[in-house]
A = this chain, B = another copy of it.
Amino acid sequence: MINRTKEALTSEKLNYEEAVAETSQQIKQLLKSAPVPIRKMTVHLSAAPGKMIRAKSLLACAMEEADRISPDAVKAAAAVELIHLATLVHDDVIDQADKRRGIKALHQKFGQKYAVLCGDWLLCAALEWVSTMDPDGNDREELSRVLPKYMTAVCLGELRQNQNMHNYRLSERQYFQTIRGKTAALFEACFYGGHLFSREPELYKEIYTEIGNNIGLIFQLADDCADYEFTQKESKKPVLSDCSSGVITLPLIYTLKKDSALKEKIEAGMDPIRLKEAVVASGGLAYTHGKIHRLRRDTARLIRVLDISPKKSALLEQILDRAAGKFQG
């Protein structure tokens, strides 16, 4: 498989399925061959690879005519997944989470200080990986230029979320400001970055970034609904974890606005199951589903505006569907 990787890295363009497999392989390879001081940790992380929705987004957008994808786009896709992984590792330190992607969180297994350093290393290694892209393309430079901007936006979103823990007066506007950074910024980076490789008209850039931002918002809104919707049996993630840890999301914001007595009850120590019932009864989930529905409709329209191949269009719609997946069940 190493030979296959080398071959792909040199020049050969790939179809979508090959590009996804190659990205996955590169991530695995990078994690498994990390320098010795970090390797134990990165090998642990490689055991739970994630669904790669960000990488898939970038690759789908990177498709050129005849549905081919450049090897540099594969590198960029691997890099955004590593950046995402870095944020997960630091998030888990911050939230003191026990598990991530079904395995023990890094800080639980190796200690907090190693998790901080491992997150730092992943971030830098991702950028170093971008810097190995073909120097003759303009894409490497542009990607090195825009990635840090999106990464600061992610940090700010995380900061906003932490500052608003247990803030039961959080407005819908503040919530969207938070998730635009925390989640949508990196999705937007993927769509922007993917478009760079596509050789499509420059004027599509704005459309792709808007689609990316919307899909990021949908992804987070669906995730925030799932926290209230599913039983532990149905979900792979811990449920009712947002309200238990003080993260205020849209279903709860809506409910708090409807029920003025709720804030006091929560502060007095309300049972999460009761809170879930209140959120369902108030229509907080239905309201959030409405938001997802409208964003989804608008985004599907934007995809249809693009003059792209049927395959590319179908892939973008599939990614849109997956982002909203938890909503659809």
Point out residues on A near B: beta carbons under 8 Å.
35, 37-38, 90, 93-94, 112-114, 116-121, 123-125, 127-128, 130-131, 140-141, 144-149, 151-152, 154-156, 158-160, 162-163
Contact = CB atoms under 8 A, between A and B. Distances in A.
Contact of A90 (B38, B116, B160): B116
A146 B123 CA distance: 14
B121 A94 contact: no
- Where chain A touches its partner, the secondary structure class is helix
Contacts of A124: 123, 148, 151-152, 154-155
Contacts of A130: 148
Contact of A149 (B114, B123, B131, B162): B131
Given A113-B94, A160-B37, A162-B117, A125 B152 contact: yes
For the complex of A and B, 10 pairs with smallest distance between CB atoms: A127-B148, A144-B144, A37-B159, A128-B148, A94-B113, A124-B151, A121-B155, A131-B145, A124-B152, A141-B141
B128 A116 contact: no
B37 A121 contact: no
A113 to B, nearest CB: 4
A181 B146 CA distance: 27
A159 B38 contact: yes
B160 A121 contact: no
A147 B120 CA distance: 14
B35 A156 contact: yes
Could you say which of A124, A146, A149 has the most chain B C-beta atoms within 10 Å of its C-beta? Answer: A124
A3 B300 CA distance: 46
A140 to B, nearest CB: 8
Contacts of A155: 38, 117, 120-121, 124
A239 to B, nearest CB: 23
A145 B123 CA distance: 14
Nearest to A159: B37
A121 B163 contact: no
A94 B116 contact: yes
20 contacts: A38-B156, A38-B159, A90-B117, A90-B120, A93-B113, A94-B116, A114-B159, A117-B158, A117-B162, A118-B159, A119-B120, A120-B123, A120-B155, A121-B159, A124-B151, A128-B152, A131-B144, A131-B145, A140-B141, A140-B145
A56 to B, nearest CB: 24
